[in-house]
Amino acid sequence: MSTSSIKSETAYIFPGQGAQILGMGKDLFQDSPPAREIFSEADDVLGYELTQIMFNGPQDELTQTVHAQPAIFTMSIACYESLKQQQKPSTTPKPAMFVAGHSLGEYTALVASNSLDFKDALHLVKERGRLMQDASNLIPTGMAAILGLEELVIAEICQATGTFMSNVNTAEQIVISGAKIPLAHAMDMALLRGAKRAIPLKVSGAFHSSYMQPAQDEMQTLIDNAPIRDPEIPVIANCTGEPLYTASDVRKELSNQLCTCVQWKKSIESMVTLGVHNFIEMGPGSTLSGLVKRIDPSVYTHSLNSLIGIRRITD
């Protein structure tokens, strides 16, 4: 796929927490000047060498929410800036039709849409990670992926057990969250109701549930004061699956995001309905591309997580 194929029916998508991989971005740092600038700026903004944790670990430190979120965000923007630098002037494509990000990735999408500057978004992401970790430490909570059970049935289970639906990733993969004992009950109930699997996730808390309200309350002042602009490219909202066109829309979305279910399936379906045929994932891993293909096998997906991949798509 060449740059001339990155047309207006393309959407850029960005991953969230859990995508982190030790060593991610090292080739970009070494061989891409725009990426190196992003990594160096991140170290300066954060006041510590995030890049050393990303490239060299240890793994358990990279996995901590307070480091994982800035790391994934920075890696994703490094990919995005490298893609822009590799595009040839003679074949410069039209801008993406939409941008979207899964949970944390929504902040990356806001930078790609020029609704937020990198530095300002990184400050928000840093605090978001810290506050989510603090909220998770208040009470033992967790998350679990339920595979092969209808959304309506899972909603009934959540209501019966006092748990929450946190991510609707595909029709076959829905993530729930809650306190440890109710979450275990919900997993057992899901299996009894016909789920293929119920898998506990290795996360520190119940993200996208009311357990994140303390974090959301403290984030609100930061969001209110952030220099958010109208997006130049519409951003598809996690909470609704609908496009965000104004700074006011963006603030409202970020104000609700931490405690509201990520409607990823609806987000992809909305973009397809609006004319998107190509999805380009930028950042570590390729999880989102896999989800997109399960939501709609007819679309094209590309995962850009290395300089080799970026050069291939722009040749």
pLDDT value at residue 270 = 98
pTM for this model (two decimals): 0.94
Q: Do 128 and 103 contact (CB within 8 A), yes or no? A: no
pLDDT number for residue 297: 97
| CATH number of the domain encompassing residue 149 | 3.30.70.250
If asked whether residues 240 and 306 sit together in one domain, one would say yes
As a whole number, the mean pLDDT across the chain is: 94
**Claim to verify: residue 130 and residue 151 sit in the same structural domain:** no
Is 60 exceeded by the pLDDT of residue 147?
Answer: yes
Q: Which residues contact 20 (CB under 8 A, 6 or more apart)?
A: 54, 62, 63, 68, 71, 72, 284
Instruction: Please indicate whether residue 185 is annotated as part of the active site.
Output: no
pLDDT in tens, 157-182: 999 999 999 999 999 999 999 999 99
pLDDT score, position 315: 72
- pLDDT at position 5: 43
Catalytic residue among 208, 267, 302, 306: 208
Same structural domain for residues 8 and 82?
yes
User: Could you report the per-residue pLDDT of 277-304, keeping only the tens digit for each?
Assistant: 999 999 999 999 999 999 999 999 999 9
**Residue 308 is part of a domain; what is its CATH number?**
3.40.366.10
Within this chain, do residues 195 and 124 fall inside the same structural domain, yes or no? no
Of 48-57, 85-94, 136-145, where does mean pLDDT reach its minimum? 85-94
Q: Quick check: 77 and 118 in contact, CB under 8 A?
A: yes
277 is catalytic: no
Considering the domain architecture, whether residues 148 and 214 belong to the same structural domain is answered as no
Q: Are residue 196 and residue 75 in the same domain, yes or no? A: no
Q: What is the layout of strands, in order, in the sheet containing 10-14?
A: 243-244, 235-236, 98-101, 10-14, 278-282, 300-304
Which of 179, 200, 221 finishes a domain? 200
pLDDT at 94: 58
Q: What percent of the chain has pLDDT over 90?
A: 90
The angle that helices 105-112 and 118-136 make with each other, rounded to 10 degrees, is 170
What digits encode the pLDDT tens for the residues 2-52?
433 445 599 999 999 999 999 999 999 999 999 999 999 999 999 999 999
Q: Judge if 98 and 234 occupy the same domain.
A: yes
Q: How many domains does the chain have?
A: 2
Choosing from 200, 220, 244, the residue where a domain stops is 200
pLDDT digits (tens, 9 = 90+) for 213-242: 999 999 999 999 999 999 999 999 999 999
Looking at the fold, whether 130 and 229 belong to one and the same domain comes out as: yes
User: What pLDDT, on a 0 to 100 scale, did the predictor assign at position 8?
Assistant: 56
pLDDT grade, residue 313 (50/70/90)? confident
Please say if the pLDDT value at position 57 is more than 80.
yes
Same domain, yes or no: 20 and 101: yes
The CB density around residue 80, as the number of other CB atoms within 10 Å, is 26
Domain range for 159: 141-200
74 has a pLDDT exceeding 70: yes
DSSP state of 164: E
Domain boundary among 174, 200, 226: 200
Q: What is the pLDDT of residue 1?
A: 39
Catalytic choice (32, 76, 82, 103): 103
